[in-house]
Structure 1
């Protein structure tokens, strides 16, 4: 997510999980789960039919899937069952995390500075993909991160340079972190190691199913990174753009040389990542299969979490404009669009599951209604992934902060208050919204 800073087996609308499975995804071809999802103009296609999905973000699933002291395979299956029961058919999952001194990053990661790979986490990802396959659910897997909470590009730079800039360092205030991290794109040693990681994962054989990842139809798309920005300061951005574009193009070409079955996506937020420049968004998506938009009204200062009632009208107008502009750009580019991250705080910007979700409900309705209307209009919107799923997890500390060693993983990453944006399994109204959207979106 941006830093700018039941057992519910029956669906809440009264639909069964089985009926939602039939509705979600590819219309009358929903049973064609052995077929790969591909792009055809502004649509995703599976078999002979459009593939539209309602999805969620759950970055932590590989940790749950691992057979370790921090893993919990029982919880993994419960969470996937819950998500499927409310109509979720696609999950965006972190498939790479880099260990380093970068503060507030998850440990353990998938890779360390000396090149050691965490076999248990990779096997945990294998378990996740196998469990998705059992349910006919699909995944978007992203390799790295622009932000600090999984180590990300800053960690890869540290491995090569020995230097770290930490997010929210009072001596190096915003935008020092993303500006410094953008040097990743120009660092040949760092990008070469990234390509090595990509090559490893794309050619991996699932230890549970025996299927190559490149041949797994439950994988919808490989994604280069979570919110890759070409810096933030205009002068930094202008200087790094050639290397940024080169990294995108070379990464996409590498993946396609190894895997002809799956789509490639970038994971970009949209114009918030480019100082409003549409030309950067267009060029960045030239050699990937579809476009993405992430929408964070609180993080971007469009609403005040302590005064949602007083700031909702102005903030929601900016959200509407952002939605419309990215639909327009996707249409002009002739490519599908997914709203793959969108989040909103609970009332009063409280973190406890008992806090009301009045304005969050309004916000989800707004995103979902725009997606549903765009389908009716024959537009490019093909998927929605809310941020994020907390499920049965609960904060382990009174201050709602994650501490190294905690295992109650949530969609709210380690650098954030636990419960800030994620949906809990007790959020009945929010889950009903997702369920209703799954039905409406599939039949729009």
Structure 2
């Protein structure tokens, strides 16, 4: 497995197996998932890098979370040392991913508070004496907070894997870095701060690592800059969150665009037919904008359906997932911008304690598992001359 040259991320890359077109997400990174993914034929895994840590044996679910490196208080140093002591677990996961021909997209921080997120950075800065309000928007513009984030990024990207001896910045199994999961602002006046933060941090990552790709991690909502795009948002609320698909993705050091799709939770009162129409237009709009305006690939890096809600069915989830898969396949077949679609979130047996409302174990849902495998098969067949020789399609599409 060779490292991917960011300068080569073009229609040529989109037409090869270098671009991970099928994958899954996990908030709690499971070691067993590496092997299950290899069997299913998936080529991408998106773990989240968060703010706390828990060690474990190789047969356990391990939450891989990290802490920014700029803290100076004695008690923070103790926490810092304890958390970084579990980093060999991530080393092992990356090592095994490479052996199983799986590429990873590593997310560097969460917007959400579930694992600390950007709010924790603000708290650390306040504890260190920074004169900040409780608004988490300061994450995007305060020099102290930005320094914490940069310290952390540098520590991760320059880390040398304890199993392989390879620096993360040179690791072939890492496909890309994601700056933040679903960046949002509290105040809609903070949009310029978010845009400037994306540009600054994307350039900083590139200064440390010229071998890997960089994405923002946005949900794909349109801002107020292009009024005719607002109708593609799931509601008026989406334009008030400061992110803007076109503006954020157009940043020079952002290599590909990212989009999320949660029609079931974004449109809770809509009928299945309405959700289906919305999802179809949402995917079409972002494929078209990526192809004709951004001229960059786009990954639908999270596609989720509420699994544990009364009235929702596996049949409905499969219908929605097929819409995304079919459109991505059609785009890939034409060598256009569609880069892939990753389900949120696929789990393995025995991990129920880490499930959320979107989680599913593939083997418990054979129709969904078949759909995922068929998508992997037809994408592999599409690029038969360049496909991975170590993986054979189990189902003929």
Corresponding residue of 2:363: 425
Q: Shift of the alpha carbon at 1:85?
A: 1.2
8 Å contact kept, 2:3–2:211 = no
Structure 1 residues 356 and 243: CA distance shift in structure 2, 3 A:
closer
Please point out which of 132, 142, 153 is paired with 1:198: 153
8 Å contact kept, 1:303–1:312 = no
Q: Shift of the alpha carbon at 1:119?
A: 2.4
8 Å contact kept, 2:349–2:361 = no
Q: Output the CA distance in 2 between the equivalents of 1:431 and 1:48.
A: 24
Corresponding residue of 1:340: 301
Q: Shift of the alpha carbon at 1:98?
A: 5.0
Q: 2:360 matched to 1:409?
A: no
8 Å contact kept, 1:204–1:213 = yes
Q: Shift of the alpha carbon at 1:333?
A: 0.7
Q: Shift of the alpha carbon at 1:292?
A: 0.6
Give the secondary-structure state (helix, strand or coil) at the position aligned to 1:210. Answer: coil
Q: Shift of the alpha carbon at 1:111?
A: 2.2
Q: Output the CA distance in 2 between the equivalents of 1:365 and 1:39.
A: 31
Corresponding residue of 1:38: 6
Q: 2:294 matched to 1:294?
A: no
Q: Shift of the alpha carbon at 1:42?
A: 4.3
Structure 1 residues 154 and 348: CA distance shift in structure 2, 3 A:
closer
Structure 1 residues 44 and 299: CA distance shift in structure 2, 3 A:
farther
Structure 1 residues 216 and 264: CA distance shift in structure 2, 3 A:
same
Give the secondary-structure state (helix, strand or coil) at the position aligned to 1:382. Answer: strand
Q: Output the CA distance in 1 between the equivalents of 2:196 and 2:308.
A: 43
Q: What are the within-5 Å matches in structure 2 for residues 203-242 of structure 1?
A: 203-231=158-186, 236-237=187-188, 239-242=189-192
8 Å contact kept, 1:130–1:209 = yes
Give the secondary-structure state (helix, strand or coil) at the position aligned to 2:67. Answer: coil
8 Å contact kept, 2:191–2:243 = no
Corresponding residue of 1:135: 100
Q: Output the CA distance in 2 between the equivalents of 1:47 and 1:200.
A: 34
Structure 1 residues 46 and 293: CA distance shift in structure 2, 3 A:
closer
* CA RMSD between the two structures: 2.9
**Runs of 4+ in structure 1 displaced over 6 angstroms?**
46-49
Corresponding residue of 2:44: 90
Give the secondary-structure state (helix, strand or coil) at the position aligned to 1:378. Answer: coil
Structure 1 residues 349 and 197: CA distance shift in structure 2, 3 A:
farther
Corresponding residue of 1:385: 342
Corresponding residue of 1:434: 372
- TM-score of the aligned structures, taking structure 2 as reference length: 0.78
Structure 1 residues 126 and 221: CA distance shift in structure 2, 3 A:
same
Q: What are the within-5 Å matches in structure 2 for residues 12-411 of structure 1?
A: 33-36=1-4, 38=6, 40=8, 42-43=10-11, 45=13, 51-61=19-29, 64=30, 76=31, 78-98=32-52, 109-111=65-67, 114-115=76-77, 116-117=80-81, 118-161=83-126, 180-231=135-186, 236-237=187-188, 239-271=189-221, 275-276=238-239, 280-285=244-249, 286-287=251-252, 288-300=254-266, 302-304=267-269, 311-331=271-291, 332-346=293-307, 348-349=309-310, 356-395=313-352, 408-410=353-355
Q: Output the CA distance in 2 between the equivalents of 1:373 and 1:46.
A: 12
Residues 19-69 of structure 1: CA distance to partner in whole angstroms, max 9, x if unpaired? xxxxxxxxxxxxxx12425354644739987634211102222xx5xxxxx
| Greater shift in the superposed pair: 368-377 or 203-212 | 368-377
Higher helix share: 2
Q: Shift of the alpha carbon at 1:409?
A: 3.2
Give the secondary-structure state (helix, strand or coil) at the position aligned to 2:50. Answer: coil
Q: Output the CA distance in 2 between the equivalents of 1:58 and 1:333.
A: 28
